[in-house]
Structure 1
Amino acid sequence: MTDKTILVAGTYDTKADELGFLVSCIEDQGGRVLTMDVSVLGDPSGPVDISKHEVAEAGGSSIQTAIDSGDENVAMQIMGRGAAAKAAELCAAGRVDGAIVLGGSMGTDLALDLLGALPLGIPKYVVSTIAFSPLLPPERLPADVQMILWAGGLYGLNSVCRASLAQAAGAVLGAARAAQPPQRDKPLIGMTSLGKTALRYMVPLKPALEARGYEVAVFHATGMGGRAFENLAQEGAFACVFDFCTQELGNHVFGSMVSAGGSRLTGAGMAGVPQLVAPGCYDLVDVIGWQPADPRFDGLPSHAHNRLITSYVLDDEGRRKVARAHSEQLAKATGPTAVLLPRGGCGEWDRPGEPLHDAAGLAAFCDELVATCPDNVTLHDLKCHINDNAFAEAALRVFDAWRDAGHVPA
């Protein structure tokens, strides 16, 4: 088994014992380690591979500037920028195969910067006293980050925190050894959807695109799935995207924690990646089902999908607001952009006779989108439902035309 190198970052002035234990666990399993100190005021008790001075300088600043700020928040943001830049540099040079960061709230704040700078597929772990906390905004979470609660580890080593640290060491090293970087032997198509109950276009589209020589990755648009999709789109990993479930944008507009962040529906467009877009399940806003209902949704129909997610059905004005948000995001696109607008409905429950069918609400959304559609977008008004074969066929016609024109690699 080829040894892997893990980047172990933290404040080596105050957490030297805990970080040292983590390092020893990785090395005892045959792994290699690069250590990165992100402390500000103190100095590590032993040598580190990447000093706090190197980290601050990588972020375009210095330790003295961080100290002189007199503000711990400002200082740690300096270190966060530097840690992210240094980690990205190490990864690009092939010097690290995974990364793990240890910290409380300060260290976790920095960890999100550092790990967010690493590409999808590189194992990235946070051992944190605030793991899984609502303090962590979804838009800052790297799409494939793994979190381990640092139980009993606020100050000093003990048997409880050793158990957490030992498991974390095994997890990151095992992940690095088992990782299979994405292959790029075929052009990759990114697609968004929900489960086949609500949206089924991927069933005919995936084999049709594969028959044309493409690989297809379908992302579950429930917050973190959209984050992963946007991350890869921004990196230019996709030859084209079929972004047919934009519900996360509505979630963001209405303040739901089930969000992919404010950049949703911009990654592909701003990277110049050809994008086909359709408003799958635009009419629903998902919220955390086990929390008290937000008064803003009073009077709206709702459906408890399970104990975790409750969906609210938007009224006409809410749908118009979501339509305008689509237009605002799509106006930022620099590459070929087409919107497929299925007038027959945008979710399986929005058909005549189904419980969420609302012809007037659908018309309100469609009319607002048509009225506000930016000039850089080609609009295809379709007389079908999003789950009809006619919709998939229309999408393939646009895609084939783009491929024939050279916009999408063959």
Structure 2
Amino acid sequence: MASGTARCAYVAGTFDTKGRELAFLRQCLERLGMRVTTVDLSTSGKPSPASVHPREVARHHPQGESAVFGSDRGVAMEAMAQAFERFLLTRRDLGGIISAGGSGGTSMATQGMRALPVGVPKMMVSTMASGDTRPYVGPSDICMMYSVTDVQGIHRISELVLANAANALAGMIAHPPARSGVARPAIGLTMFGVTTPCVQAVTKRLEEDCDCLVFHATGVGGQSMEKLADSGLIVGAIDVSTTEIADEIVGGTLSAGPTRLDAFARHALPYVGSCGALDMVNFGTWDSVPERFKGRTLYRHNPNVTLMRTSADECRRIGEFIAGKLNAMRGPVRFLIPEGGVSAIDRPGQPFHDPQADRALFAAIEAGFRTGHDRKLQRLPLHINDEAFADALVVAWKDAASRPAGGMRQA
């Protein structure tokens, strides 16, 4: 993105319904000495006062602007959001972006914001910011500010909130953070509570050579790690805890979506993976477990988290999913299978110990995995939290990272 004096503040939103509020944001930024570009995301076809007309944005839709402007408002807004995402990626002077709106405007603006690299300032003033913001923020570093009142009119409350938001964006653009002085290459690792000993052991062994970024595998964690891969901020991953895939396949609450692992098909980065916590699917309180699962092996992790043991059939499907994703990866691949168990509660005497289900998982991965010169699968007679398994992961990482396809370039 842009740097220095070329850095421009973008004000985006639906100028047909939020024109006064967006204009106030522009004025606040200009008073602070910011160069401002306004971008209209309206789909009504009304005249636009913005620097960038809605039709200019709409032309970035894969099917052209005709795909954006139609009689169905919902379809038009969805198409405009897609066009806006592609539009933003073409801008070379973008130093930061701000928007204000309700649910529709927030959905459109944040879809574009999520496409921008981590570190580019992003501010969203929204009526939705006091609720569940995951659909809007996702794995990105969007700042959500609750509008307090509706985004409708300039009055004593909206002036305060919008001005603070504009000031925050201006500060982020005018005073970008100093580049990290850490010279070690950054790598991503995924951890869950039941794989913590393994990940802690791996990071301890690598901390002198690598800047270890650990992500909690709660759905957005895996997405965030892959967002950093897309942004060029990590050089590879030791994906110990692929548990989010179990939630995606079975229907738990902590899925990272069907695109989990796809970042490593887009980028030839070294990838070391394992089966961490694939023995479990996550739900909320005990009463929140769907009726169809009531007869299954359940474990009360805490009052707000209930775990369900994956069955042999589910493990087979999870393994097939993982193998397919591994086969699409472009960089060096090492996948390590811990035959002694995949989580702290998957040991003899523990509630999720189920050798038959584990064997189904391991067999499906092994059967589907395409081996090659730089694509290796290892089955080890170890538990995932054994020190020796952490040692094996470190050896696999050093081997994969030394290969020319991924390399240990610095982020």
TM range (shorter): 0.7 to 0.9
Aligned to 1:231: 227
Contact residue 270 and residue 401 of structure 2 kept, 8 A: no
> Would you say 1:43 and 2:47 are equivalent positions?
yes
> Would you say 1:22 and 2:21 are equivalent positions?
no
Aligned to 1:300: 296
Contact residue 236 and residue 268 of structure 1 kept, 8 A: no
Deviates more, 1:391-400 or 1:239-248: 391-400
TM-score, length-scaled by structure 1: 0.85
Contact residue 331 and residue 374 of structure 1 kept, 8 A: yes
Q: 1:384 to 1:310 in 2, by over 3 A?
A: same
Contact residue 303 and residue 311 of structure 1 kept, 8 A: yes
Q: Which of structures 1 and 2 has the larger relative contact order (alpha carbons within 8 angstroms, sep 6+)? A: 2
Query: In the aligned structure 1, how far is the partner of 2:87 from the partner of 2:151?
Result: 27
Letter in 2 for 1:153: D
C-alpha displacement at 1:225, in angstroms? 1.4
> Would you say 1:81 and 2:79 are equivalent positions?
no
C-alpha displacement at 1:404, in angstroms? 4.5
Aligned to 1:282: 278
Contact residue 192 and residue 221 of structure 1 kept, 8 A: yes
C-alpha displacement at 1:325, in angstroms? 2.0
> Once superposed, what is the RMSD of the aligned Cα atoms?
3.1
Letter in 2 for 1:7: Y
> Would you say 1:194 and 2:192 are equivalent positions?
yes
Deviates more, 1:386-395 or 1:367-376: 367-376
For 1:292-331, what aligned pairs fall within 5 Å after superposition?
292-306=288-302, 308-331=304-327
Query: In the aligned structure 2, how far is the partner of 1:71 from the partner of 1:305?
Result: 45
C-alpha displacement at 1:38, in angstroms? 1.5
Q: 1:306 to 1:109 in 2, by over 3 A?
A: same
Q: Deviation per CA, 1:345-382: give whole Å up to 9, x if none.
A: 11122223334333333233223333333445521000
Aligned to 1:34: 37
Deviates more, 1:380-389 or 1:106-115: 106-115
Query: In the aligned structure 1, how far is the partner of 2:296 from the partner of 2:16?
Result: 53
Q: 1:313 to 1:201 in 2, by over 3 A?
A: same
Contact residue 123 and residue 143 of structure 2 kept, 8 A: yes
Query: In the aligned structure 1, how far is the partner of 2:11 from the partner of 2:286?
Result: 36
Aligned-pair identity (%): 31
Contact residue 275 and residue 337 of structure 2 kept, 8 A: yes
> Would you say 1:241 and 2:241 are equivalent positions?
no
> Would you say 1:259 and 2:244 are equivalent positions?
no
Aligned to 2:217: 221
Aligned to 2:333: 337
Query: In the aligned structure 1, how far is the partner of 2:167 from the partner of 2:350?
Result: 50
Residue aligned with 1:15, SS = helix
Contact residue 276 and residue 338 of structure 1 kept, 8 A: yes
Aligned to 2:381: 383
Query: In the aligned structure 1, how far is the partner of 2:133 from the partner of 2:200?
Result: 37
Query: In the aligned structure 2, how far is the partner of 1:315 from the partner of 1:246?
Result: 16
Query: In the aligned structure 2, how far is the partner of 1:318 from the partner of 1:64?
Result: 43
Query: In the aligned structure 2, how far is the partner of 1:313 from the partner of 1:183?
Result: 44
Residue aligned with 1:352, SS = coil
Query: In the aligned structure 1, how far is the partner of 2:305 from the partner of 2:61?
Result: 40
C-alpha displacement at 1:384, in angstroms? 0.9
Deviates more, 1:304-313 or 1:373-382: 304-313
Query: In the aligned structure 2, how far is the partner of 1:407 from the partner of 1:210?
Result: 23
Q: Deviation per CA, 1:103-155: give whole Å up to 9, x if none.
A: 223212312321122101212232223346569648x8342223233332153
Aligned to 1:107: 105
Letter in 2 for 1:252: E
Q: Deviation per CA, 1:317-339: give whole Å up to 9, x if none.
A: 22222222212222222222221
C-alpha displacement at 1:306, in angstroms? 4.4
Query: In the aligned structure 1, how far is the partner of 2:191 from the partner of 2:357?
Result: 21
Deviates more, 1:339-348 or 1:165-174: 165-174
Contact residue 371 and residue 377 of structure 2 kept, 8 A: no
Query: In the aligned structure 2, how far is the partner of 1:123 from the partner of 1:289?
Result: 36
Contact residue 241 and residue 268 of structure 1 kept, 8 A: no
Residue aligned with 1:312, SS = strand
Alignment partner for residue 268 of structure 1, among 264, 276, 298? 264
> Would you say 1:203 and 2:173 are equivalent positions?
no
Aligned to 2:55: 53
> Would you say 1:346 and 2:342 are equivalent positions?
yes
